[in-house]
A and B are shown apart, each in its own frame.
Chain A
Amino acid sequence: MELIVNGTAETVPIRTIAELVAYKGLASGALIVELNQRIVKQEQWPQTRLQAGDRLELLSFVGGG
């Protein structure tokens, strides 16, 4: 399925947000996921199915002033 992840088109063998996070090998603790400009809470990642063309932002807080 082709998704736009952090602004880049990617073809990934996944169906849900949880699978995407696992596929990318990301630690979920600090991760914030935005799907089509809506935040999806971590407990909803396993049941949130993705569709081709979905835009995802994988974000986290970092040091800043």
Chain B
Amino acid sequence: MMTDDDVLQLGGACFTNRLFTGTGKFAANAQIPKMLAASGSQMITVALRRIDPQAGQGNILAYIPKEVTLLPNTSGARTAEQAVRIARIAREAGCGDFIKIEVITDMKYLMPDNWETLKATEMLAKEGFVVLPYVLPDLPLAKRLENSGAAAVMPLGSPIGTNRGLETKPLIEMLIENCTVPVVVDAGIGRPSQAAAAMEIGADAVLVNTAIATAVDPETMGRAFDLAVKAGRTAYLARLAEESSLARASSPLTGFLDD
């Protein structure tokens, strides 16, 4: 049964909410604190970019309550070295020790470059970062990340922003069964039911951005995802009943009225 002590530990921090969220694609930054309050999310991603003089200079960090852990990502990095540079800037800028490593060279499917990601993980873990690498679900890689000091592994369910759900489910299950670090399903989760499915199979958390930010009502969708993550987590802890190819009656098969 799920209790208040069902806590996810990452890098010395404790999370009682297993829905991680992102700040991308919101129609207005003012939706972000409302979404955070409605979803209860305790960790949220941000990205680092060159300033755009044409765009407004609203400070995204001003919309994130202090008690929510910042998870800067290294999006835009094409190499391990670039990811390391972004991580160092984020930490020096006061964003804390958490870093989501995202190294992408394929712009069609936005597939993470597992090799560069491993290199960046090795370097940043040595520098004391809490490293959460975004990867394709690959068990040998996940074990290497673990041995390199990753605080978690974050396999994709389907490509970023596609809302197609757990297309990689059997591969993610291998990670869940064999990794000692937490497994956070990141990318592709489009519906609360898909988040629940990820939690039911034993994911430690999910990271959802597009599905919440681009919903007509992000605040309410944040709440829906929170409920789904809690439902899936509770079901996992309760241990799911077995599947069967044949029907197994729920009501007694004897004592019918006309027998």
Query: In A21-65, which residues have CB < 8 Å from any B CB?
Result: 24-27, 29-32, 34, 37, 39, 57-65
> In the complex the two chains form, what is the Cα distance from A56 to B92 in whole Å?
16
Q: Tell whether A63 pairs with B24 under 8 Å between CB atoms, given A6-B50, A26-B57.
A: yes
Q: Output the residue of B22, B23, B25, B50 with the most chain A CB within 10 A.
A: B50
By the criterion CB–CB under 8 Å, are B89 and A62 in contact? no
By the criterion CB–CB under 8 Å, are A62 and B57 in contact? no
Whole-angstrom distance from the CB of B182 to the nearest CB of chain A? 19
* Binary flags per residue of B13-31, CB closer than 8 Å to A gives 1, else 0: 0000000001111100100
By the criterion CB–CB under 8 Å, are B53 and A62 in contact? no
What is the interface residue range for chain B against chain A?
Answer: 35 or more
> In the complex the two chains form, what is the Cα distance from A27 to B55 in whole Å?
12
Q: Is the interface of A mostly helix, strand, loop or mixed?
A: loop
Q: Is the interface of B mostly helix, strand, loop or mixed?
A: mixed
Q: Output the residue of A34, A59, A62 with the most chain B CB within 10 A.
A: A62
What is the interface residue range for chain A against chain B?
Answer: 20 to 34
By the criterion CB–CB under 8 Å, are B95 and A61 in contact? yes
By the criterion CB–CB under 8 Å, are A65 and B22 in contact? yes
Q: Tell whether A30 pairs with B61 under 8 Å between CB atoms, given A59-B89, A62-B48, A65-B73.
A: yes
* Binary flags per residue of B209-231, CB closer than 8 Å to A gives 1, else 0: 11001000000000000000000
Q: Tell whether A26 pairs with B51 under 8 Å between CB atoms, given A32-B93, A34-B89, A63-B26.
A: yes
Whole-angstrom distance from the CB of A4 to the nearest CB of chain B? 12
Whole-angstrom distance from the CB of A1 to the nearest CB of chain B? 19
> In the complex the two chains form, what is the Cα distance from A39 to B22 in whole Å?
25
B85 at the interface (CB under 8 A from A): yes
Q: Output the residue of B47, B51, B95 with the most chain A CB within 10 A.
A: B51
Binding site for B on A (CB under 8 A): 6-7, 24-27, 29-32, 34, 37, 39, 57-65
In order of increasing CB-CB distance, the 6 nearest A-B pairs are A64-B47, A65-B209, A65-B22, A30-B59, A63-B23, A65-B24
